[in-house]
Structure 1
Amino acid sequence: MTLEAPARDRAPAAAPLVLVERLIFRYPNGHQALHGIDLRIDPGEKLALIGPNGAGKSTLMLHLNGIHLPAEGSVAIAGIPVTRQNLGRIRALVGLVFQDPDDQLFSPTVYDDVAFGPIHMGLARDEVEARVARALEAVGLAGLERRQPFHLSLGQRKRAALATVLSMSPQLLVLDEPSAGLDPRGRRELINLLRSLDQTLLVSTHDMRLVAEVFPRTVILDEGRIVADGPTPDLLADAALLERHGLEMP
């Protein structure tokens, strides 16, 4: 049965990784992007965030690592409130991967980009090298450490951008439209990669086939409100629900 409500009918875990309560957000121009969001994500969940353009998806995601700070309501990651005083701790827990990988790749080589975070964490050289190796292996780019990022394909650049976040060992990965612009091979590689990751995932996407193949739980956001939250097969089978919120069946 499709749920058209923010709450989920299930026993809560002892400690959520993400807890958003009554979150309201207005931009400086007065536009209210979020209207009382309540969201709980438990450790290990893979959750898709879908909705039409302008629904507030990006605004919500930017609250999870403190790019936006709660003005009304609250956001907590692993029990730590997202506040200005806690930004360092929050950003160590939450890895944000933008839609355009060129927003995150700025160094002369892939190695330099992936090593940037661990180096600025003050880690020893051996640990930095180990983290870079693990991250590149995880995204299928081992052996490309010395390549220049702009010589990579779009799919490879997207995976390199993800590696820059994985090298920080975050507990939560937040990805914005990860399959946008990928050809079928790149998309299949992305699906396999997302399935293989151990981290908790929150992914905003318009790719309904990606949602169906990877994410057991889906949240629909529209006009700054959560209008549905439930098992992905149930929501994606509800044609009327999807049509009401500008979405298509996969």
Structure 2
Amino acid sequence: MLRSDLTVNASLSVDHTPLLLIDDLHFAYPDGRVALRGVHLRIARGEKVALVGPNGAGKSTLLLHLNGVLRGNGRIEVAGLPVSERTLSQVRARVGLVFQNPDDQLFSPTVFEDVAFGPLHMGLAARDVQARVERALALVGMSTYRERHPYHLSMGEKKRIAIATVLAMEPEILAFDEPSAGLDPRARRGLIRLLRDLPLTMLVSTHDMAMVQELCDRMIIMDEGRIVADGTAATMLDDEALLEAHGLETPWKERGVRD
């Protein structure tokens, strides 16, 4: 939970109790396309984990299972709470899902109303909603934007507001789908710093391997609906053969220069 006296600390300690647990998850779309083939995953509180792989690997499908948008066969628990029809409202308060396109999350006339939407639908008192909005906007460095119109903001600003909308729900884990997509270099660097400093567990689906290098200690590779590799990001990012086998590039090749 994000407390009002929370100190932002990039070195958030990691314990070994699974905050997210997935066992033998399978999923096929109505057209018969199989997207997940027996996924097993455990993420501890405090970890920042990159989820990488080629297009069609199942990354986005997996993210949409975390708060019940999609429902496959298998076991999913968030902070010990099984994801089921009965627990969806509780699970969705614990998992903050941030989409690739912030326009999918921003629809109100003002930034304040967008960020307040979730807490209001939790039935919180007006003063508690106000406090959550102010706290969330402060965490993303957008406190002065509360009365701005979201559709007039830059892509980088919209992404920060989209993150604030889920922070206002006080989640226990943040799940991102391509957070750096569409950003110019300055906005991308600012976003990476923001995510690095947020004291929350994260699962980040991305093709941005340089971002993985800067943000995540652990990396998971998915391909054809399965987890095919799971290990230390620094080690895996230096394994060019492994990355190329799964349609990925090392960060230095991605940038066209070796550090």
TM, length-normalised to structure 2: 0.90
1:150-189 mapped onto 2 (5 Å cutoff): 150-189=151-190
2:134 is the alignment partner of 1:133? yes
Check whether the contact 2:50–2:218 (CA below 8 A) recurs between aligned residues. yes
Q: Which one of 7, 19, 22 corresponds to residue 20 of structure 1? A: 22
1:28-43 mapped onto 2 (5 Å cutoff): 28-43=30-45
Query: Which consecutive segments of 4 or more residues in structure 1 shift more than 2 A?
Result: 12-15
Q: Deviations over 1:145-189 (max 9, x none)?
A: 000001110000010001000000000100100000100110011
2:49 is the alignment partner of 1:47? yes
Q: Which one of 67, 75, 79 corresponds to residue 65 of structure 1? A: 67
Q: Distance in 1 between matches of 2:250 and 2:237?
A: 6
Q: Distance in 1 between matches of 2:41 and 2:185?
A: 32
Deviates more, 1:145-154 or 1:120-129: 120-129
Q: Distance in 2 between matches of 1:35 and 1:123?
A: 40
Check whether the contact 1:171–1:200 (CA below 8 A) recurs between aligned residues. yes
Check whether the contact 1:69–1:84 (CA below 8 A) recurs between aligned residues. no
Check whether the contact 2:15–2:46 (CA below 8 A) recurs between aligned residues. no
Q: Distance in 2 between matches of 1:182 and 1:116?
A: 25
How many pairs does the alignment contain? Answer: 238
* Residue 209 (structure 1) aligns with: 210
Q: Deviations over 1:66-92 (max 9, x none)?
A: 00113x221111111111111011101
Q: Tell me the SS of whatever aligns to 1:24.
A: strand
Deviation at 1:15, TM superposition (A): 2.8
**Could you list the runs of 5+ residues in structure 2 that have no partner in the other structure?**
1-13, 252-259
Q: Distance in 2 between matches of 1:27 and 1:53?
A: 16
Q: Counterpart amino acid of 1:230?
A: G
TM, length-normalised to structure 1: 0.93
Q: Distance in 1 between matches of 2:145 and 2:81?
A: 36
Check whether the contact 1:19–1:76 (CA below 8 A) recurs between aligned residues. yes
Q: Distance in 2 between matches of 1:226 and 1:14?
A: 20
Q: Tell me the SS of whatever aligns to 2:141.
A: coil
